[in-house]
Amino acid sequence: MTEETGQEMLGLEEIREQIDETDKAILELLARRSRLVSSVAEVKAQSGDSRILRPAREIVQMRHFLTWFKERGLDMPVSGFSAIWREIIAASVSQQTPLRVMHLSETLTTARERFGNAAEYLMIDNPNDALVKLDANANTIAVLPLENTTWWENLPEGVTVFGALPYLSQASKADIKSLCVGCIAIEASGEDVTLLSCPIEGFPSNDTDAHILTSSDTHHLIMVEGFINTDRIGELVGSFGSLEIMDSLLAGEKS
């Protein structure tokens, strides 16, 4: 008798009892995970590692999760499963150090989907207000829109773009609506893209290696494939005429 056949023969009450037992097991595992997270916080404090967010590590975790979900062929919608997993990760982050997320009214929903309900959310009037409040300890980040704004032209020193939203969207790059910014160390995740500021004048109109996310009167914000740090910018200059990079504008996710 297969497990599936055995499950089909169970009565409703028996199935509910097994669900209750499974729920208890899940809670115990979450408690164990929470204790491990506390241990991580202690080790980081001893080593002087003050990083709250590790975007590359989180995106790798989410990719593994999505692969696992696909292999299992589960009936539950992937959006529900991924939301649960995101909340677990977000709660672990806030357990170590409370995270403050600045946002505009139009970016609150995607910000909450990305950083979870455990974070503190602060409404701001415009993107420039957020940029001046980002702290060097990365306790505070911001989720800023791309439409009708050019905040990306004037990033303060040390501030980077470390993610694109909607999070893990299967949509095309053209559907990216907002970016995550903060004093976050950028690491490669294996499937990355890089954001660069490129003067409009001299930009090759037929170039297929770059996607224009948005533009100001004088510059394009472009996305190119791969993790391209400041040492490799020279390799691209020949393709685009000239480039300007401000503290390595990198988004650690490829949609």
pLDDT per residue as tens digits for the range 41-83: 888 888 877 777 888 888 888 888 888 988 998 898 888 888 8
Q: Give a three-class secondary structure readout of 104-159.
A: CHHHHHHHHHHHCCCCEEEECCCHHHHHCCCCCCCCEEEEEECCCCCHHHHCCCCC
pLDDT, average across residues 210-216: 85
Given 47, 66, 88, which residue is the final one in a domain? 47
- Same domain for 83 and 39: no
Residues 136 and 31 in one domain: no
Whether residue 148 lies inside any domain: the answer is yes
Q: Is the pLDDT higher at 198 or at 231?
A: 198
Q: Is residue 78 part of a domain?
A: yes
pLDDT confidence of residue 247: 40
What's the token pair of residue 13?
């009450």
* One domain, residues 88 and 25: no
Let me know if residue 207 belongs to a domain.
yes
The tokens describing 211, both together, are: 């996607």
- The pLDDT assigned to 194 comes to 83
Q: Looking at the structure, tell me whether residues 62 and 22 fall in a common domain.
A: no
Same domain, 35 and 67: no
In a domain, 125, yes or no: yes
Same domain, 32 and 102: no
109 and 37 housed in the same domain: no
pLDDT score recorded for residue 65? 86
Q: Give the range of the structural domain holding residue 82, as residue numbers without chain letter.
A: 55-251
Evaluate whether residue 159 is within a structural domain.
Answer: yes
pTM metric for this prediction: 0.83
In a domain, 11, yes or no: no
Is residue 243 within 8 Å of 157, Cβ to Cβ? no
Q: Could you tell me if 76 and 23 lie in one domain?
A: no
What pLDDT sits at residue 234?
Answer: 61
> Is 157 within a domain?
yes
pLDDT greater than 70 at residue 240:
no
Q: Which residues contact 89 (CB under 8 A, 6 or more apart)?
A: 58, 61, 116
Q: What is the predicted pLDDT for the residue at 88? A: 92
- Rounded Cα gap, residues 164 and 193, in angstroms: 10
CB 181 within 8 A of CB 202: no
CA angle 171, 139, 179 (to 5 degrees): 20
**Judgement on whether residues 194 and 214 belong to the same structural domain of the protein:** yes
The per-type count for the chain, helices as H runs and strands as E runs, is 7, 9
Residue 84 phi, psi (nearest 5): -60, -45
Residues 67 and 24 in one domain: no
- 18-30 tens-digit pLDDT: 999 999 999 999 9
Q: What's the start-to-end Cα distance of the chain, in Å?
A: 43
Is residue 28 domain-shared with residue 67, that is, in the same domain? Answer: no
Burial class of 34 by CB neighbour count within 10 A (0 to 12, 13 to 18, 19+): middle
Q: How many domains does the chain have?
A: 2
Same domain, 70 and 145: yes
The answer as to whether 4 is a domain residue is: no
Nearest to 102 by CA among 150, 159, 187, 186: 159
